Amino acid sequence: MTAADRAGAHMVDALCAAGRIRSPAVERAFRSVPRHVFLPSFAVHEAYADDAIPIRFAEGAATSSASQPSMMAIMLEQLELRSGQRVLEIGAGTGYNAALMATVVGREGLVVAVDIDQELIDDAAAHLAAAGPRLDAAGAGPVELVCADGALGHPERAPYDRIVLTVGSDDVRPEWLAQLAEGGRLLLPLAVRGSQLCVALDLGEDGVLRSDSVQSCMFIRLRGIGSATGSTVVLGRTDLAVEVPSDGLPADPDRLLAALVEPGEVIRMPFPLRQADIWDGFGLWLALTEPGACRLVAAGSGTPARAGIDLVAEDLLPVGSSTASLALVTSHGPVGLALVVQTADGRQALRCFGPAGVDLAAVLVGSMQAWAAVGRPGAPDWRLTVVPGGTGEPGPGVVPKPHATVLAEVRSHGSPAVAG
């Protein structure tokens, strides 16, 4: 065995042991397709590490990456591909994921990979050609590469049994639904109130999409006409910013600033939160149940703090290499903010700001207790229903999108519990 063969075998063994790979078809695909061939500019140990690898940048930000192998395995298992199926992939990347899927669907199947970046398409074509002998030996089916805006799909080869996005989307586009075969499955990283959820959605006879599985994820966002509209707004001359998702009731930065200049009580929390709870876990629950929910993040601006504001980014909770936290803010009436902070001794507490801060802290505590009462659900415990063309107003468990309405409920101990 070569060093690459050994590294590849070790990667697959680890994915199987971790439960990321669960089916023989997905395991066979991972063992058959050489990942390093699709990452020729990287060392073998980098190619087979369980890490996402940025491969293209614009203005200092990554616009494409080779996804983390464990996330790719999770998504392939979510897709439940079958021999002979037709697949549309939006976001070609290196071509590695298309090669894996082509190995599963076989010679009678077809994979069409669409990307808005012609250079990525050209590179993917070169990688697939280099891997050709291995793919032929594995019985992989054809892969067609198309340079186009993935928001529009690729109607020329429709209908597809499976459509998969390897980029994050703020919407469920009608073009994808129109190109999905009856009973087909759409898998996409979908933005939901500031969290990103990898949702496998099955198309019903009534035209409604219902989730089969949900996983937390983090993908580079879709470009082109379907690009995301969410943003992060720096709070004046502070080192704090607030996330403003496109599908919720945005927190008012002016009200946040007005509250922050009036620090109040520090209140004990019922229990501490984990890092994952900021965007998954309780963070997702809070965003789907409370209209005043928001997330504060470290702005990284390096500007001096605004006079009268003593809260700094370090008071937020550590999340990876940065800090962030969860809060409730009033939308009208007296200003108020209740925020989860890290205290000087490393514990967590609720810090109140403004006249309405204590009342909001009580609501936040109640929400934590309600979340705990149904088993502290995370992303996999949610069930999403997507109603195309819906025009619902944002509210508990109702997430409006430009072309659909997402209805969310969480199941605990076998019983449905509608958010809110």
For the record, the structure tokens of 313 come out as 């980014």
In degrees, rounded to 5, the angle at the alpha carbon of residue 394 between the alpha carbons of residues 409 and 275 is 60
Q: What would you report as the CA-atom Rg of the chain, rounded to the nearest whole angstrom?
A: 23
| Nearest C-alpha neighbor of 33 from the set 104, 83, 88, 90 | 104
CB burial of residue 173 (10 Å; 0-12, 13-18, 19+): buried
d(CA 7, CA 83): 28
d(CA 369, CA 294): 18
Element (H, E) at 230: none
Element (H, E) at 408: strand 404-412
Decide if 231 is catalytic.
no
Residues 6 or more apart whose Cβ sits within 8 Å of residue 88: 112, 114, 153, 154, 157, 158, 160, 162, 163, 164, 179
| Nearest C-alpha neighbor of 183 from the set 207, 150, 166, 165 | 207
Residues 6 or more apart whose Cβ sits within 8 Å of residue 99: 33, 38, 128, 131, 135, 140, 143
Q: How many CB atoms neighbour CB 35 within 10 A?
A: 25
| Nearest C-alpha neighbor of 240 from the set 261, 220, 224 | 261
Return the DSSP state at 254: H
Element (H, E) at 2: none
Catalytic residue, candidates 32, 64, 65, 67: 67
Beta bridge partners of 98: none
For the record, the structure tokens of 352 come out as 């109140």
Residues 6 or more apart whose Cβ sits within 8 Å of residue 70: 15, 18, 20, 50
* Cβ(157)–Cβ(80) below 8 Å: no
Beta bridge partners of 209: 203, 386
The residue to which tokens 């006879």 are assigned = 205
Q: Which residues are catalytic?
A: 67
